[in-house]
Amino acid sequence: MSENYNHATIENKWQRKWEADKLYQAKIDPQRKKLYFLTMLPYTSGDLHFGHWYPMAPSDARARYLRMCGYNVMFPIGFDAFGLPGENAAIQRGIHPKKWTYANIKNMRRQLRSMGAMWDWSREAISSDPEYYRWTQWFFEKLYEHGLAYRKKAPVDWCPQCNTTLAREQVWGEDRHCERCKTPVIKKDLEQWFFRITNYADELLDFSTIDWPEKVMTMQTNWIKRSEGASVIFKTEQGDPMEVFTTRPDTLWGATFMVLAPEHPLVAKVTTTDRKVEVEAYVSEAVRKTEIEREAVDKEKTGIFTGGYAINPVNHERIPIWIADYVVMTYGTGAIMGVPAHDQRDFEFARKYGLEVRVVIQPEDIPPLDGVTMPNAVPAYGTMVNSGPLTGTPGDQAFQAAVKFIEEKGIGEFAVNYRLRDWLISRQRYWGAPIPMINCEVCGWKPVPEDQLPVELPEDVEWKPTGESPLKLHPTWKYTTCPECGGAAERETDTMDTFMCSSWYHLRYLSPQYAEGPFDPKEYDYWMPVDVYTGGVEHANMHLIYTRFFHKACRDMGIVKGPEPMLQLRNQGVILGEDGEKMSKSRGNVVAPDLLVDQYGADALRTHLMFAFRWSDGGPWNDENIQGVVRWLNRIWALFTDSSTLLPSAQKKASLGVLCDLRRKVHQTLKQVSHDFENFEFNTIISGLMELLNEMYVARESGAVGTPEWQEAQDIYLRMLAPVAPHIAEELWTERLRKPYSVHTQPWPKVDKEAVAEEQVTLVIQVNGKVRDRITVSVNIREDEAKAVALASETVQRFIQGKQPRNVVYVPGRLVNIVVE
């Protein structure tokens, strides 16, 4: 008789033993091939739910699989602990952010450990520890020394709810809301610290050395958005240069007006006295609009004439300068040339305000264009017309010819423009790594000397958000002396964007206790780069772009090596609440991990997460479906612990055929499971193991127990089970089958190709493509034999009705298709 499977006892027991035996500690071993398997580190919000297991449990299974395949696998874990969400949660509860964060870490550690993953906890790193952010600050200073960090006054995005500036990447959606709190952002003119990520725009577009999902590469490419064109200098009538960027230099002769963004510095200067009042009214209205009525998506173009004129440098024509809010200051130069005949936005604007529409491009395949009557702009390339010396240039040469022309005349040049902006990292909040800079009235901004790092975050601070940096309000903290002249000076009171901390955490995992640098070079040389990286796709344009930039910048500074930090990336989907919505406390659809672990056990939850969804898709949580894997694990337990399965069956002797079928199924499953692990197809790993178990039950009934084939089946089954359900596999392996501890250090079994091969196959017999019969034949059947067998089938004869087959298609091992009529 079999006893019951008690997940609580077993899981607890093995987790302790593995921990005590340091089974998962990763050590440098030059003899073995290393594999750095990284999962995006969890954020220490208090909002823990079961969705957090979803990226991790299948990743752990795959890391375990690779370890059994012979790799020396490092699978580290840590916590992203600084930042707005933690601070906001702390404020809500009236608890100090530090206290709140570290209490969360303690709880999360316990919860994560209950998963039974092979994390090497000795490598744990926490980004809010002074020993960690000491190096975050050190990296900032390196970037500063190399001119990659700079301070600039600029209009920046400000979240009025979070009371801080945000990076462009953290502003989402049509209404431009804060990525965290969803509040629409406003613009503020502030002096802030930036990283020169735009220096790396071109290199960030190169994905040739990494295996990343198409989706992420597309998102990053679109985010960076490189466009080729020309920079052309127009001049105002007063002689001020007015640079524009255009992707269509071939349409320069069609420019009939200029448009400046309302915030453009030349607006005041070009505006004539009689237009001043109206223009100022328009500008302040535009500013008001961008700040308050963000959601009013009024695509109707508005604008106003400044009274000023510019000179088109290609034909010296005098054209009016307008301002309009469809031109934005944050892209290009904030000024454009209006070519209404060939740009739809300019067209709409020109028609609305009665500006000339002049055709300068005539595509070959359409009737001659007429600026007065055309209903829309025609943006296609075509022969240049009305374009002075370039008239007649064919469409495929127009771009180059126009660039050559402006370069020769010295009025412009070929130019590349990017949508990517420099990374704004200043945050006017408390819970972050202080920016290690000192401002001296005499010497200017100076980095804190390296031996004084870290610049520690004081704990006695009024950390409630006021819009001012909390560190500024501290009575003494900011006062210091200048590292250069020794005179009185003040510290930077802003803290760093937490994405700075997470840009290099994979390096701290290498040697979290190392004090001579951010990481131990010995560890770096062995483990880096990260071989496999798993996590959510929502970071495509934030963390994943920052960390690539960070790596490339550090490479240029001689700190790290190689072109990329993470070679292979795979994204999981999202686990939703039972209502199909994103899990959140406010919706009340959060599934708590602790309760589930108590009820079902870690093995059941791990396997359920692998089985119930396509990993890359995710989906809504469902309390009922989990019964499937619970029953499966119970059936495994029953089969492996039932004493009658341990002894050769007295009554029945299995036939050779049964044993051969069993071996075949075992090795076919092994082949499939290995393939699926390689490809992150976790759901079919579980279904394959379920099928094999069903097959083993059948074999047991047929008397297979006790045979070498049965023992092999049991052995391979537990090895395959080990990565997905590590506890039950260990218990059955070590305690029941009495095999050498631990199943997790066993090698992955080898597929016996001969055992996999079928001797007989079922040929599908089709008539005109429809299945009419199935016939079991030997694998080695010849084509003419197979066709003869098919034609001999009674069912087939009935459908053919005596007609001569026009064609007989034979696909070896699969089917015969008889085509009649």
Name residues contacting RNA, limited to 157-176 (CB under 7 A): 172-174
| 681 binds RNA, rule: CB under 7 A | yes
Between 149 and 324, name the residue whose CB sits nearer to RNA. 324
Kindly state the smallest distance separating residue 771's Cβ from RNA, in Å: 5
Name residues contacting RNA, limited to 214-243 (CB under 7 A).
Answer: 214-215, 218-219, 222-223, 225, 227, 229
| 301 binds RNA, rule: CB under 7 A | yes
11 exposed, middle or buried (CB, 10 Å; 0-12, 13-18, 19+)? Answer: buried
Name residues contacting RNA, limited to 620-639 (CB under 7 A).
Answer: 622, 624-625, 627-629, 631-632, 634-635
Count of alpha carbons within 13 angstroms of residue 312, beta-carbon side: 22
Q: Distance between CA atoms of 420 and 486, rounded to whole angstroms?
A: 39
Between 707 and 817, name the residue whose CB sits nearer to RNA. 817
Pattern 407-446, binding to RNA, x per CB under 7 A? ----------x-x---------------------------
The residue from 68, 357, 384, 690 that contacts RNA (CB under 7 A) is 690
Between 194 and 509, name the residue whose CB sits nearer to RNA. 194
Number of continuous H segments (helices) and E segments (strands) in the chain: 26, 33
| 789 binds RNA, rule: CB under 7 A | no
Name residues contacting RNA, limited to 316-335 (CB under 7 A).
Answer: 325-334
Kindly state the smallest distance separating residue 650's Cβ from RNA, in Å: 22
| 771 binds RNA, rule: CB under 7 A | yes
Between 103 and 698, name the residue whose CB sits nearer to RNA. 698
Q: Which amino acid is at 425?
A: I
| 246 binds RNA, rule: CB under 7 A | yes
782 exposed, middle or buried (CB, 10 Å; 0-12, 13-18, 19+)? Answer: exposed
Name residues contacting RNA, limited to 191-210 (CB under 7 A).
Answer: none
Q: Distance between CA atoms of 337 and 654, rounded to whole angstroms?
A: 86
Between 522 and 798, name the residue whose CB sits nearer to RNA. 798
The residue from 299, 316, 318, 753 that contacts RNA (CB under 7 A) is 299
Collapsing DSSP to helix, strand or coil, 424 comes out as: strand
| 612 binds RNA, rule: CB under 7 A | yes
How many residues are recorded in the chain? Answer: 821
Within 10 angstroms of residue 168's Cβ, the number of other Cβ atoms is: 18
Q: Distance between CA atoms of 164 and 157, rounded to whole angstroms?
A: 9
**H-type alpha helices, 509-564:** 521-527, 543-556
Between 336 and 482, name the residue whose CB sits nearer to RNA. 336
121 exposed, middle or buried (CB, 10 Å; 0-12, 13-18, 19+)? Answer: middle
Between 343 and 661, name the residue whose CB sits nearer to RNA. 343
| 814 binds RNA, rule: CB under 7 A | yes
Q: Which amino acid is at 751?
A: V
With contact defined as beta carbons under 8 Å apart, do 239 and 209 qualify?
no
| 2 binds RNA, rule: CB under 7 A | no
Kindly state the smallest distance separating residue 455's Cβ from RNA, in Å: 33
| 600 binds RNA, rule: CB under 7 A | no
Q: What is the DSSP letter of 821?
A: -
| 256 binds RNA, rule: CB under 7 A | no
| 336 binds RNA, rule: CB under 7 A | yes
Strands, E, within 736-804: which ranges? 760-767, 770-778
Between 348 and 752, name the residue whose CB sits nearer to RNA. 348
The residue assigned the tokens 């870690």 is 602
Between the CA atoms of 314, 320, 324 and 328, what dihedral angle is there, to the nearest 10 degrees?
A: 30
With contact defined as beta carbons under 8 Å apart, do 86 and 100 qualify?
yes
Between 442 and 757, name the residue whose CB sits nearer to RNA. 757
| 772 binds RNA, rule: CB under 7 A | yes
Query: Which residues contact residue 782 at a Cβ distance below 8 angstroms, ignoring those fewer than 6 apart?
Result: none
Q: Distance between CA atoms of 151 and 165, rounded to whole angstroms?
A: 14
Kindly state the smallest distance separating residue 621's Cβ from RNA, in Å: 10
Number of residues that bind RNA (CB under 7 A): 82
| 288 binds RNA, rule: CB under 7 A | no
Name residues contacting RNA, limited to 257-276 (CB under 7 A).
Answer: 261
Kindly state the smallest distance separating residue 155's Cβ from RNA, in Å: 13
| 694 binds RNA, rule: CB under 7 A | yes
Between 174 and 754, name the residue whose CB sits nearer to RNA. 174
| 817 binds RNA, rule: CB under 7 A | yes
Name residues contacting RNA, limited to 338-357 (CB under 7 A).
Answer: 343, 345
The residue assigned the tokens 């001043």 is 276
Between 426 and 766, name the residue whose CB sits nearer to RNA. 766
The residue from 768, 779, 782, 783 that contacts RNA (CB under 7 A) is 768
| 393 binds RNA, rule: CB under 7 A | no
Q: What is the DSSP letter of 120?
A: -
β 171-172/566-572 pair status: unpaired
Between 380 and 485, name the residue whose CB sits nearer to RNA. 380
The angle formed by the CA atoms of residues 734, 737 and 739, to the nearest 5 degrees, is: 50
Query: Which residues contact residue 627 at a Cβ distance below 8 angstroms, ignoring those fewer than 6 apart?
Result: none
Between 460 and 758, name the residue whose CB sits nearer to RNA. 758
| 692 binds RNA, rule: CB under 7 A | no
| 760 binds RNA, rule: CB under 7 A | no
Kindly state the smallest distance separating residue 662's Cβ from RNA, in Å: 16
Rg (CA), the chain: 34
Within 10 angstroms of residue 254's Cβ, the number of other Cβ atoms is: 27
Kindly state the smallest distance separating residue 348's Cβ from RNA, in Å: 8
Stretch that binds RNA, among 84-92, 543-551, 778-786, 807-815 (CB under 7 A): 807-815
| 584 binds RNA, rule: CB under 7 A | no
Kindly state the smallest distance separating residue 86's Cβ from RNA, in Å: 22
Kindly state the smallest distance separating residue 799's Cβ from RNA, in Å: 7
Alpha carbon distances (Å) from 336 to 8, 248, 399, 474, 565? 68, 11, 18, 47, 39
Between 206 and 617, name the residue whose CB sits nearer to RNA. 617
Between 74 and 732, name the residue whose CB sits nearer to RNA. 732
| 791 binds RNA, rule: CB under 7 A | no
Beta bridge partners of 243: 233
Between 261 and 559, name the residue whose CB sits nearer to RNA. 261
Kindly state the smallest distance separating residue 741's Cβ from RNA, in Å: 29
| 611 binds RNA, rule: CB under 7 A | yes
Within 10 angstroms of residue 32's Cβ, the number of other Cβ atoms is: 12
803 exposed, middle or buried (CB, 10 Å; 0-12, 13-18, 19+)? Answer: exposed
622 backbone dihedrals φ, ψ, rounded to 5°:
-140, 125
Q: Which amino acid is at 62?
A: R
The residue from 462, 770, 801, 802 that contacts RNA (CB under 7 A) is 770
End-to-end CA distance of the chain: 63
Name residues contacting RNA, limited to 530-559 (CB under 7 A).
Answer: 537-538, 541
Q: Which amino acid is at 756?
A: V
Q: Is 332 left (phi over 0), alpha (psi -120 to 50) or beta?
A: left
Segment (H or E) for 102 = helix 97-113
Stretch that binds RNA, among 51-59, 443-451, 481-489, 614-622 (CB under 7 A): 614-622
Stretch that binds RNA, among 116-124, 467-475, 746-754, 771-779 (CB under 7 A): 771-779
What strands, in cross-sheet order, belong to the sheet with 530-536? 72-74, 34-39, 530-536, 566-572
Q: What is the DSSP letter of 300?
A: S
